[in-house]
Amino acid sequence: MLDVVVLVSGGGTNLQAVMDAVDEGRITNARIAGVISNNPNAYALERARKKGIANCCISPKMFETREEFNEKFLEAVDEMEPDLIVLAGFLVVIPPVMIRKYRNQIINIHPSLIPSFCGKGYYGLKVHEAALERGVKVTGATVHFVDEGTDTGPIILQKAVEIRQEDTPEALQRRVMEQAEWKILPQAVDLIANGKIKVVDNQVRFL
Ligand code: GRF
């Protein structure tokens, strides 16, 4: 049984997609052991509370220095004893010591087809604004392992979404979430929970 800890900062729709997939048997061999947010007002925490899932809030704003936060944040994660850590709209930089400790055990959902529209400064609505600005005809979402870079780890799953002429950033974000993020994130958790993937030479291989 894979113990999954989900890190969130906002509305928690990706967290909800994972919770629903566990309930509906589309994710097997896994359970959500806890949810951690940096934002006390994140509705994602309410979603965890409603499901009776252990949850806590720990923010850099609670500490004098980022080093102090990093230490306490890692302690909070370790306490939940995760086999897999899922970044679901999490907006705080993961401490390098945590990436080393949980190598290839941290995954992230990014709302574009990496390597497009990713890296520093590309998060949330900004990703979709950039896609519309560039005039691409297809965008989508990517689930990848987290390494020391920003959105640079081995890619696990991607799913494409057509861009429509009349799209606003908000409409595009919603469609990418509905048609891509909420599908491939649960799929990736299920693949990992059932031992279906491994990382070889920094590339994801399906077993
Ligand atoms: C959304 O912008 C989503 O595209 C990205 O994180 C943000 C928050 O998603 N993955 P959520 O509703 O908190 O899961």
Task: Supply the CATH number for residue 11's domain.
Answer: 3.40.50.170
Which ranges of the chain does DSSP label H, i.e. alpha helix? 13-23, 43-50, 66-79, 96-101, 125-134, 169-176, 182-193
Which helix (H) or strand (E) segment holds residue 30: the answer is strand 30-37
- Residue ranges making up the domain that contains 141: 2-206
Say what the pLDDT of residue 54 is: 98
Say what the pLDDT of residue 136 is: 98
User: Which residue has its alpha carbon closest to ligand 1 atom 5?
Assistant: 89
The bridge status of strand 138-145 relative to strand 106-110 is antiparallel
Q: Looking at ligand 1, which atom is closest to the CA of residue 123?
A: 2
The two structure tokens encoding residue 60 = 């850099």
What is the whole-number distance in angstroms between the Cα of residue 124 and the centre of ligand 1? 6
- Set 34, 73, 88, 110: catalytic member: 110
Say what the pLDDT of residue 135 is: 98
pLDDT under 50 in the chain at which residues? none
What is the whole-number distance in angstroms between the Cα of residue 161 and the centre of ligand 1? 16
What is the whole-number distance in angstroms between the Cα of residue 52 and the centre of ligand 1? 22
Contact 124 CB / ligand 1 (< 6 Å): yes
State how many domains the chain has.
1
Q: Looking at ligand 1, which atom is closest to the CA of residue 9?
A: 13
Contact 140 CB / ligand 1 (< 6 Å): no
Q: What are phi and psi of 82, to 5 degrees?
A: -75, 145
Q: Is 110 one of the annotated active-site residues of the chain?
A: yes
Say what the pLDDT of residue 48 is: 98
Q: What is the pLDDT of residues 111-169, one digit of tens each?
A: 999 999 999 999 999 999 999 999 999 999 999 999 999 999 999 999 999 999 999 99
Say what the pLDDT of residue 102 is: 98
Query: For residues 86 and 106, what is the distance between their CA atoms, to the nearest angstrom?
Result: 6
Contact 109 CB / ligand 1 (< 6 Å): yes
Query: For residues 147 and 99, what is the distance between their CA atoms, to the nearest angstrom?
Result: 6
Say what the pLDDT of residue 69 is: 98
Query: For residues 183 and 70, what is the distance between their CA atoms, to the nearest angstrom?
Result: 31
Say what the pLDDT of residue 39 is: 98
Contact 181 CB / ligand 1 (< 6 Å): yes
Query: For residues 196 and 206, what is the distance between their CA atoms, to the nearest angstrom?
Result: 6
The bridge status of strand 84-88 relative to strand 155-162 is unpaired
Contact 13 CB / ligand 1 (< 6 Å): yes
What is the whole-number distance in angstroms between the Cα of residue 106 and the centre of ligand 1? 17
Say what the pLDDT of residue 44 is: 98
